[in-house]
Structure 1
Amino acid sequence: MNPASTGPVAVPPANVPIPPTSGVSADRPSGHWPGLIATALTATVAVMPGFTVGALATSIEADLNISRSALGLAMSAFYAATALGSPFAKRLAARLPVPASLTIAALTAAAVMTVAAQIHTLTALTALLVAGGLANGLVQPAAGRLIAARAPAHRRSLAAGLVGAALGAATLLPGVLVAFVEPEYGWRASMLVAGLIALLPIVLAPLAKAPPTPPDSPTAVGDNRSSSPATTGRVLVLWALAAALSATGNNAVATYFVQLGDHAGLPALLTGNLLSLSAVLAIAVRLTAGALTDLAPRHNPTVITAMMAAGALGLVLIATGSPVLFVAGAVLSFSAGWGWTGLLLATTLRLVPGRTENAGHTVQVGIYSGATVAPFAFGALSSTLGFTGTALIAALAAMAAAVAMAAGTLTLRRQRTGTP
């Protein structure tokens, strides 16, 4: 409706749907799901080099004659490249068409894993992982831009959950490789298969077209309308810190899952299958949580806090070293401990409407900063404290994440209500 109009306005009956006007909803391209699926698949393969090296760590360490700490440092380099390169990736993703960003990320991941299957030194592996990490940084800003431009407001959490499910899916294939390819053909063949699979999303990348400048995101009830820039900045810092702390604990478990399973007395085949099943569960939880929270997106921060706390409990169960409790802890840490990533992206999109790359950048920096610390720190600490003590430290980090998330939410609520 034209705000300048002074004539009478006809109000349709409550049971008659109002046709879309020239607002945001009408301007969004239809058929958003194929593009979002293409983005989610690209996000999966883009982060897969780090998880694949982690799943194959035992064989790689033996073949290259390197220590657990040294390989952990190489894996940390992958996540560090994503976190530190995120500001550049954010600017690049804002300028490139979304399909181009996705193609670069997937193609680089495929090249990294294919070449990694041929290397014989830790230096070469580290260099490859750095390259893969830099390209991985393109995905989240591009995803935020696509969601804001094409996903309906009432499907934002589900759309972000679909993209967030990539972190769960990225552990699925390595688990399958550990269970079915590595025992028969070795880690190099497994890495090569992963590299070839990473090429598949490139075919779908053209589906993820988005306007050069996406329209402003409509916010949830009350979101950001009464939030000052200073308050928004503090909230984003706290939420990014929460993402970093939670990712530190959960990424360590995802990276060293096979070794932790071995420590608990589970056969490698069973552990690999459990990793795959846990990844499937993580995907299901992200999608379900996204669909449910779309009904009341203002509750997203509370749901994320609860998930982080539940993930901490799962890490405590894993630390016991009991086979039964390990399985329960794995299910809890993968489903809840990693289930918040898409919701956090959707929540930050609502907090900073019109700055979609910033939303994806904030979530990405948090997650990958924690992921940077996790492999090397867990590898080094487990060499001295053992898996039990190190898993408990990871649980403390995850609980601190829940506290930081709650603190950010409380800061936002106090500013909106005027509470000191």
Structure 2
Amino acid sequence: MIARGLPAKACTSYWPGIVAAALTTTVTVMPGFTVGALGPAIEQDLRVSRTAVGLMISAFYAATALGSPIAKRAAARLPAPVVLAVAAVAACAALLVVSQADDLATMTAALVAGGLSNGLVQPVAGRLIAARVPVRRRSLAAGTIGAALGAATIVPGLLVALVLPVHGWRTAMVAAGLIALVPVLLTPLTRLPPGTSPERVGRGATARGTGGVLVLWALAAALSATGNNAVATYFVQLGTHSGLPATVTGNLLSLSALLAVAVRLAAGALTDRAPHRNPAVIIAMMLTGALGLMMIAIGTPVTFVLGAALAFSAGWGWTGLLLATTLRLVAHQAENAGHTVQIGVYTGATIAPYAFAALSDAFGYAGSALLAATAALAAAASMTAGTLLSRRLGER
């Protein structure tokens, strides 16, 4: 069966393009996670506070969120391969500049530039899925894109475990920058079929009345991302605070990221069988993530490992499903789906690093983790409200 509104050729061999977009998504968000993972070494070398580094990381995500409206327009007009290649090269440049910087101002400027280019990716991904992927495979395709956000912590985790102890944080940052160039060679695979317009793809709901649903879902994404991004950014610090060695925590970060990738792919494949149930699955994931954050707050090695597994796999595993769900709602404007997910996720990610650093200084890691769990519970409530509103609109 072929997605309605798509030519047969557009529905064949779409996976190489989806994988290329996913790899690009991985490297463009990597600067924020890499600086977070290497944060303790940066703080010690430059003699700066944890809050200052957290504010710098927040600037990266803020640039993505604030630049998202412009990125959405660019995604609708420019060739997808060009946009993705520019984003990957910008991520490489940002990481290399950070690796040579001796002050936070230079680092922050580089991260802001990287954050702006990172905002280009999700709208392009939404357009690519709507234009090339059949409806019956869109949850899996969106899950593949969402898995990239989890995969973005794999490299920083390995750098902490393997490169940092021997060569230092600057070399580790250079290695991350070079890795960011890998997807550039694959971006030609993301070409859209000639004559395919994202506005004509799919059925979708009418635009009338969907704005409120998108706002509630974006708010849910922001609240959930606040807690889970804090865990991803400060994973090494939380692990060592719970009694685990830094090298073990770095390896655990990479393993947790692999678990997150597996869960997102599995969730996408399973929900393709009943895509109308995606919102319920997302709500369940957000609630499970809240439980994981509560376990992390206990502060023992065992509860940290279990809590991190839940927070990464479920609490941070809904992004692809949310992209697929919003595509069903506004398939006639596919870039809006990526924009909704992106602005929500990165608004939460903007708040998380600085807020968690400041709160952990005031209330400790346990208190901060509990506040993050509260945000995850509020996210589930907002997602529920948006889902109920979308059902009422569908009944009209």
Q: TM-score, normalised by structure 2?
A: 0.97
Q: CA deviation at 1:153?
A: 1.0
SS of the residue 2:281 aligns to? helix
Structure 2 contact 92–181 (Cα < 8 Å) conserved: yes
Give, in whole Å, the separation in 2 of the partners of 1:326 and 1:22.
Answer: 46
Matches within 5 A, 1:158-237: 158-211=140-193, 213-214=197-198, 216-219=200-203, 224=205, 229-230=208-209, 232-237=210-215
1:63 alignment partner, one of 33, 37, 45: 45
Q: CA deviation at 1:207?
A: 0.5
Report Cα offsets for 1:6-42 as digits up to 9, x if no partner: xxxxxxxxxxxx8x79942525252100001000000
Structure 2 contact 62–115 (Cα < 8 Å) conserved: yes
Which residue number in structure 1 is paired with residue 69 of structure 2? 87
Q: CA deviation at 1:412?
A: 1.5
Amino acid at match of 1:123: A
Give, in whole Å, the separation in 1 of the partners of 2:5 and 2:42.
Answer: 54
Q: CA deviation at 1:94?
A: 1.4
Which residue number in structure 2 is paired with residue 271 of structure 1? 249
Q: Is the alpha carbon distance of 1:268 and 1:22 closer, same or farther for their aligned partners in structure 2, counting shifts above 3 Å?
A: closer
Amino acid at match of 1:154: R
Structure 2 contact 59–111 (Cα < 8 Å) conserved: yes
SS of the residue 1:24 aligns to? coil
Unaligned runs of 5+ in 1: 1-17
Q: Is the alpha carbon distance of 1:228 and 1:388 closer, same or farther for their aligned partners in structure 2, counting shifts above 3 Å?
A: same
Is 1:36 paired with 2:18?
yes
Report Cα offsets for 1:186-222 as digits up to 9, x if no partner: 1000000000000000000000001462363435xxx
Greater shift, 88-97 or 278-287, is seen at: 88-97
Structure 2 contact 293–372 (Cα < 8 Å) conserved: yes
Which residue number in structure 2 is paired with residue 138 of structure 1? 120
Give, in whole Å, the separation in 1 of the partners of 2:218 and 2:156.
Answer: 27
Give, in whole Å, the separation in 1 of the partners of 2:9 and 2:170.
Answer: 48
Which residue number in structure 2 is paired with residue 356 of structure 1? 334
- Structure with bigger helix share is 2
Give, in whole Å, the separation in 1 of the partners of 2:148 and 2:349.
Answer: 15
Amino acid at match of 1:377: A
Q: CA deviation at 1:56?
A: 0.3
Which residue number in structure 1 is paired with residue 280 of structure 2? 302
Amino acid at match of 1:298: H
Give, in whole Å, the separation in 2 of the partners of 1:415 and 1:308.
Answer: 24
Give, in whole Å, the separation in 2 of the partners of 1:58 and 1:331.
Answer: 23
1:288 alignment partner, one of 254, 266, 271: 266
Structure 1 contact 72–375 (Cα < 8 Å) conserved: yes
Q: Is the alpha carbon distance of 1:22 and 1:387 closer, same or farther for their aligned partners in structure 2, counting shifts above 3 Å?
A: closer
Structure 1 contact 25–152 (Cα < 8 Å) conserved: no
Which residue number in structure 1 is paired with residue 365 of structure 2? 387
Amino acid at match of 1:218: G
Give, in whole Å, the separation in 1 of the partners of 2:370 and 2:97.
Answer: 36
Structure 2 contact 198–333 (Cα < 8 Å) conserved: no
1:255 alignment partner, one of 212, 222, 233: 233
Amino acid at match of 2:222: A
Give, in whole Å, the separation in 1 of the partners of 2:87 and 2:11.
Answer: 24
Structure 1 contact 250–333 (Cα < 8 Å) conserved: yes
Q: CA deviation at 1:228?
A: 6.5
Amino acid at match of 2:202: P
- Aligned-residue Cα RMSD (Å) equals 1.5
Which residue number in structure 1 is paired with residue 382 of structure 2? 404
Is 1:157 paired with 2:146?
no
Structure 1 contact 28–150 (Cα < 8 Å) conserved: yes
Give, in whole Å, the separation in 1 of the partners of 2:249 and 2:207.
Answer: 48
Q: CA deviation at 1:332?
A: 0.2
Q: Is the alpha carbon distance of 1:64 and 1:387 closer, same or farther for their aligned partners in structure 2, counting shifts above 3 Å?
A: same
Give, in whole Å, the separation in 2 of the partners of 1:357 and 1:307.
Answer: 24
Which residue number in structure 1 is paired with residue 58 of structure 2? 76
Q: CA deviation at 1:374?
A: 0.2
Which residue number in structure 1 is paired with residue 296 of structure 2? 318
Which of the pair has more CA radius of gyration? 1
SS of the residue 2:102 aligns to? coil
SS of the residue 2:202 aligns to? coil
Give, in whole Å, the separation in 1 of the partners of 2:394 and 2:329.
Answer: 12
Which residue number in structure 2 is paired with residue 15 of structure 1? none
Amino acid at match of 1:202: V
Q: Is the alpha carbon distance of 1:387 and 1:21 closer, same or farther for their aligned partners in structure 2, counting shifts above 3 Å?
A: closer
Report Cα offsets for 1:252-274 as digits up to 9, x if no partner: 01000000001100011110111
Identity of aligned residues (%): 65
Which residue number in structure 2 is paired with residue 240 of structure 1? 218
Matches within 5 A, 1:46-61: 46-61=28-43
Give, in whole Å, the separation in 2 of the partners of 1:181 and 1:237.
Answer: 42
Q: CA deviation at 1:64?
A: 1.2
Which residue number in structure 2 is paired with residue 374 of structure 1? 352
Amino acid at match of 2:125: A
Structure 2 contact 3–134 (Cα < 8 Å) conserved: no
Which residue number in structure 2 is paired with residue 11 of structure 1? none
